[in-house]
Amino acid sequence: MTVTVDRASAARAALASVRDPELDQPITSLGFVASCVVSADGQAQVRLRLPTYFCAPNFAYLMVADAYDAVSAVPGVRCAEVVLEDHFAADAINDGVAAQAGFIGSFGGEAIAELDELRAAFLRKAVMAGTDQVCRPLLAGGPAPAALRSMRLGDVPPSAALDRLRRRRADLGLPAGDDSPLLVDPETGAAVSAEAVPLHLRRARVTRAGIEANTSICTGMLKQRYPSTREAT
C-alpha cells in the first residue's frame, strides 16, 4: 500500500515538471491533472482536463505527451496511460500518444511538422516574460533602464524568478551563466544593444501581461467548467 502511495506521489511530482507551454506553468498548479493513480503492479493512470473543449490541439498534445514521458520515467511505473478528457481532439491525441506516433502521426494530413519549433517559440516568450519579472524589481530600486544593459545574470540578487529565467534560457540554448548578459535577444542570445533596451523592456512587459491575462482567463474558465477545481492564482 505504502509503495503504491509513494509511486502515486512520485508520479504527481513528475507531472509537476510538465508545463502548459503557452502559460509556462506546471499543469499540476493549473488544475489540469484531474487524477493520477498508480496500481500495485505499476500501472499509472493519469487523467488530464483543460479549460475548454476547444483548447488548441497542438498545445494539448504537448501536455499529454510530456505527461506520458514524465510518468513513464518514474521508478516503479511499468506502464503509463495518460488520457485527455472532454476535448474535441481527445481521441486523436490520446491514441497518438499511446502509440508514440508523434504529432504528425497523430494528426495525419493536418500537420506537417513536429512541435519543436512551436515549443521553442513559447519558450522565447517565457524568456521575455521572465525578463520583466526579473528586471521590474531592479528598476523599482532606482537605476535607469539603460543601466540594465551592462548587468550580468550574476549581478542580480538571487530569486525564484531569476532561477526560472536561467532555466528557460538554458532550455533554449541561450547563455545562462553568471557572466551572461541580463538582457539578451531570445532568438539569438546576443546582448541587447543600448538603443534597443527601452523597447526590449517594453516587449518583455507586454509579453508578461499577455501570458498573465491568458492564465487568468484559462484558470477562470477551468473553474467554470469544473467547479470543484481549486483556483490557482
Partner 1 sequence: MYTKDGEKYFIVDSHMHYWNAAPDNWVPGAEQYAKGWIECFHAYQGLGPPHTHWPIEKFQKYSEDDLMRDVFTDGYVDVAVFQPTYLKEWYSEGFNTTERNAALGEKHPGMFVANTRFDPRDGDAGLEELRRNVERYGSRGVKLYTAEWNNGSRGYKLSDPAAYRFLAAAQELGIKNIHVHKGPTIWPLDKDAFDVADVDHAATDFPELNFIVEHVGLPRIEDFCFMATQEPNVYAGLSVVIGGLMYARPKFFAKVMGELLFWVGEDKMTFGSDYGIWEPKWQVEGFVDWDYPSDEFSDYPRVNTATKKKILGLNAARLYNIKVPDECQLPATAGTPGAQDDAHLVPGS
* Contact footprint for partner 1 (CB under 8 A): 22, 51-58, 88, 103-104, 107, 110-115, 117-118, 121, 125, 128, 202-203, 205-207, 209-210, 212-214, 216-217, 220-221, 224-225
Residue 174 Cβ vs partner 1, minimum distance, rounded to whole Å: 19
Residue recorded with cell 502559460: 23
CB 39 within 8 A of CB 4: yes
- Which residue's CB is nearer to partner 1, number 51 or number 80? 51
3-state secondary structure of 77: coil
CB of 104 to partner 1, least distance (A): 8
Between 28 and 215, CB nearer to partner 1: 215
Shortest spacing between CB 44 and partner 1, in angstroms: 28
Please report how close the Cβ of residue 46 comes to partner 1 at its closest, in angstroms.
Answer: 22
How many CA atoms within 13 Å lie on the side-chain side of 11?
29
Measured from the CB atom, the residue of 52 and 180 that comes closer to partner 1 is 52
- Give the N- to C-terminal CA distance of the chain in Å, as an integer: 34
Cell of 130: 521572465
Q: Which residue has the cell 496511460?
A: 81
Q: CB burial class (10 A; 0-12, 13-18, 19+) of residue 151?
A: middle
Closer residue to partner 1 in complex, CB, 51/174: 51
